[in-house]
Structure formats: structure tokens, C-alpha cells
Amino acid sequence: MIHAETSAGTRVPSAFNVIIEMAAFGDPVKYQADPQSGRLRVETFMMTSMRYPANYGFVPHTLAPDGRPLDALVITPFPVVPGAVIEARALGLMHLTDDEGPDTKLIAVPIASVCPPTGNLHSLDDLPQYLLHEFRHFFVNYKVLEHGKWSRFEHWGSVSDAQNELNSAIAAFERQLADPDPG
């Protein structure tokens, strides 16, 4: 399950790779890909009785403002096994702030050749409102039982915002590779 050689994709920003860490509606165990080994590590057991409302992972070879790879929620008709790579496209962004600062998440669906039913989804406006409420509710509440942890919803972003965020995260990753010690 080593993903060091998995790129962000060849058609960025219109399509990109996501490495899944958490399957939709899976057990409340949060996994994170170890950057050195590529293996999934148990990050924490979630203290709330909640489950991720969509497949959750990250876009490889990106660096978000929080210093980690750019997060992505991928909406699929079935859960995707952790460690799998899925080619996706953005419908928009969810901007949050948590106890560590800004926390942005791409909202995505698989490309149409992987999941034909998602071909007619083009923006967050095409999703059922309850799904957006579910995403918001989950990320605002999943940390509430962890001492000192919190998360606040800020706003939604468009497809264009998501593509710009993705391009910025790739550029930040490339800058870090070019100058790993900027200090």
C-alpha cells in the first residue's frame, strides 16, 4: 500500500487522484497514511458515535495550508476500501476552521468512467441539501468529545474555488520539494 509514487494526477485540476483513508460509513477508527511507509496508521478512535458520511482521503503530492496533504471527501454509491486510489473531480469545497487553524476539504465524485451515475453532477448545487448538511454536521461535531478539540464550518466554495485550492496545494508541495528547509 505504498503511495509515494502516486501523483496528484495527469489531468489536474479537472480530475485528480484521491487516496482513501476512511471508507464511507466505516468503523469510527480514523486512519492516516504514513508519509514514509505509505501504510495506513491508526490515528485515533473517534469518541463520538459518528461515521464519515463519504469516503475520506487526500490528494497525493499536495500541501494544504494546514501543512498536510489536501483533504477530499469522495461521494460514491458504495464504500471504497482504505488505501485505494480513485480518480475524482471536484464539485466544490468545504471551508472549516478547527483547533489547529484553517481546514479545507474538497468535495468530489469519481470521474464518469469510474462511476457513470456521477456524470451528471457538476457542482455542490447538484447534490441533495441533506448531504451537504450531513457533511457540515459531521465535521462540526465529530471532535466534540475530545478535550481541546473543535471544528467550525465557515462556508462552501465553488468548483473553481476547489480547482484553485488544488493548484495552490500542488504548487506548495512542489515548493517544499525544491526547498525542504525554507528557514
Binding residue ranges: 30, 56, 66, 71, 103, 142
Binding residue ranges for Mg(2+): 66, 71, 103
> Counting Cβ atoms within 10 Å, is residue 47 exposed (0-12), middle (13-18) or buried (19+)?
middle
3-state secondary structure of 58: strand
Closest CA to 91 of 125, 134, 59: 125
Is the N-terminal amide bond of 13 cis, ω within 30° of 0? yes
Binding residue ranges for substrate: 30, 56, 142
Q: What values do phi and psi take at 21, rounded to 5?
A: -105, -35
> Counting Cβ atoms within 10 Å, is residue 77 exposed (0-12), middle (13-18) or buried (19+)?
exposed
